[in-house]
Structures are given as C-alpha cells and as structure tokens.
Amino acid sequence: MYEWVATFSGIEVRLRALRDFCFDRDSILNAVDKRTKVVFICNPNNPTGTYWNREALTDFLSDINGRCIVVVDEAYGEYVEAEDFPDTIRLIDRFPNLLSFRTFSKIYGLAGLRVGYLAGSKEAVDILKKTCVVYSVNTIAQDCALAALEDKVHIERSRLHVRREKDYMLSELREMGMPIQSAEGCFIMIKLPISDTYAYRKFLYKGIMIRSMTGFRFPNWIGVSIGLHEANEAFLSALREIKETSKEAFL
C-alpha cells in the first residue's frame, strides 16, 4: 500500500528484495541517500511473518542516524510472542526520527471502525498533525478503541486461539506436503504448483476467500488468515479437493 500511494503521489519508490523472507538490512541501507525521506519497515512483516528483533532494529536505526524518518508498521505486533520483539514506543526517546504505526483492525477485531494510532516524538507528530484530516476518526470508534485497550482478556484469548489453530493448520499442511512460510502473525503462506490467481477462483467457487500473492511478488503462493476452527477446516478440505483434482500439477 505504501508503494501504491507513493507512486500515485509522484514520489520515487525504491523497493528492496527480501532475503530468506526477511528484510535485507544492508540492501535497505544501501538504497538510502540524501534524497530519501522515509523508510517503511513492516514488523512483523505481512505476509511472511518474519521480524527484526530488538537488536536488529536498534542497529538499523543507529545506522540511519536520523537521516530520514523510519516508520515501523506494527499492525500485527500484538500477535508476536517472541521475547526479543522490540517495543518501538520505548525507543522513540532515543530515536526521534522513529514513528510507530499500530491498528485496532487486527487482534482487537475493530476493522470495521477504521481506527489506529501513531506514536512518535512531539516534533514529528506536530509536523504530521498539519496534514491530518479533521475528524478522521469518529467518537464511537475512539470510545471502542479505548475500551479495547483495557480488554486484556480478549488479547490473550486471541493469541491463544491463533497459536492453537496455526499449529493445527501447519501440521495438516505439512502432512499434505505443502511448502509453507510461517513465523509470527495470524497468517500462513502456502506455495502451490498452480497459478495463485487460478487457485483464488477455485477456492472462491467453494465459498472460501484466500489471498493470491502475485501482488506481493510471490507468484504461485497464497496467503491464508487464521480463522475460526470451522473456517480453517473448510479451507483445508477445499485445498485437499483442489489438490486431488489437480494431481499432475501437485506431483
């Protein structure tokens, strides 16, 4: 999305390839020059689930040395249970060029309200406030977001559900012999021997919506979100049927 918005706005975008499904720190640093204004890092990354730990992120910020804004998109951060995952808000005092993006659309389940928040130094936030749309978040959404922050039980229940269902799905996919990419987050990537856009239509015909990964530059991969157990079973059943009807491709 950042790439599309920047391109539509006439801004040069410098994409850097992942290495082993992870952000390539050296490649990103080599792309930064005096004209660079913003670097976007999705942590954990969607759709690969990989992440930079506390040491990797602080080393990167030190190397940037305030030359540009670094935005860390943590939309799926609440799902991460790894102890070395960085808390970017605690790093803002040390790195005033750091901005942290978070949302209530994922683990909090408030996607329909379109509400999230940004954390940064006062100087950075004051500049950004000049570009904000007035009343961009309505009062009902704000009240729901504040209530969600206090609902610790929901967060823990959601983490437990995703952990349990992801383990179940990974076990079933490995038994089917499917190549997979999964780390943190509430999603799994699966590589197919057929076109992902074709697979999208096959799944949709069965009433299941998956995400084709060609748009993420992963052709023939699909992305699947962890849902309720019944939905996960329905997906696996549909995948088995598609695999059975496309035997030659899956050999």
For residue 70, count other CB atoms closer than 10 A to its CB: 23
d(CA 224, CA 230): 14
- Residues in the chain where the model's pLDDT stays below 50: none
What token pair was written down for 201? 């239509």
What token pair was written down for 242? 């598609």
d(CA 85, CA 212): 28
Q: Catalogue the E-assigned strands of the chain.
A: 38-42, 69-73, 98-103, 116-119, 180-181, 187-191, 211-212, 221-225
d(CA 42, CA 65): 19
Q: What is the pLDDT of residues 95-110, one digit of tens each?
A: 999 999 999 999 999 9
Q: Taking CA 229 as the corner, what is the angle to CA 211 and CA 43, rounded to the nearest 5 degrees?
A: 50
Output DSSP code: residue 22. B
d(CA 34, CA 178): 44
Place of tokens 């940004």: 118
Q: What is the pLDDT of residue 136?
A: 85
What sign for the dihedral angle of Cα 151, 153, 157, 160? positive
**pTM of the complete model:** 0.91
Domains of the chain: 2-150 (3.40.640.10), 153-250 (3.90.1150.10)
Q: What is the pLDDT of residue 134?
A: 80
Q: What is the pLDDT of residues 40-97, one digit of tens each?
A: 999 999 999 999 999 999 999 999 999 999 999 999 999 999 999 999 999 999 999 9
